[in-house]
Amino acid sequence: MFAQPVRGSAKVRPMIKTGDTLPDATLTESIAFGDSCPMPPQKLSAAELAKGKRIVIFGLPGAYTPTCSGRHVPGYLENLDALRAKGVDEVWCVSVNDGFVMAAWGRDQNAIGKIRMLGDGSAELTRKLGLEVDIPGMGVRLRRCSLLVEDGVVTRVNLEDGPQFDVSSAETMLRQLAE
């Protein structure tokens, strides 16, 4: 199901690695809701949000998809207190979806106010991380992954090899935080 990483005619971006600075990109987030849908999302700087914090970022291919909805987000919600006990200030869920979709999905997952549901609608952060993948029928998406970011520096990278769900789980991150 998963295609190869997207590599256009432009300069090939290296994948993010331990020791790299989290690239800056505009992400969107909405945590307020009107009568029928989320309020307009705020534009946020990934680099600014990461300053002075210990953050777990988990990236996934798309809101409302089976593994993402059934296992990935629920796993981070279930382990949120344990992650915080290990010194994690925030947990971010990032996907190549717009901020409205991420907010609605976050509400459906009961994640709003617990996990930051951040939209990367133009795949700006995804591309800067070098983690884009072209999934047939879905287009360019973020490869399933998890990152530990400490004061803007990536200290751990867990990247799934294809559609499986293993190394990007909250349980894997907790084990790594205990090392």
Q: How far is the C-alpha of 8 from the C-alpha of 157, rounded, in Å?
A: 24
How many Cβ atoms are within 10 Å of 176's Cβ, its own excluded? Answer: 16
Residues 6+ away with beta carbon under 8 Å from 32? 38, 39
Closest CA to 106 of 69, 141, 70: 69
Residues 6+ away with beta carbon under 8 Å from 137? none
Closest CA to 118 of 108, 129, 109, 106: 106
Residue 140 near residue 134, CB atoms below 8 Å:
yes
- Given 37, 68, 93, 145, which residue is catalytic? 68
Active site residue 37: no
Residues 6+ away with beta carbon under 8 Å from 134? 3, 4, 5, 6, 140, 141
Q: Which residues are marked as active site?
A: 68
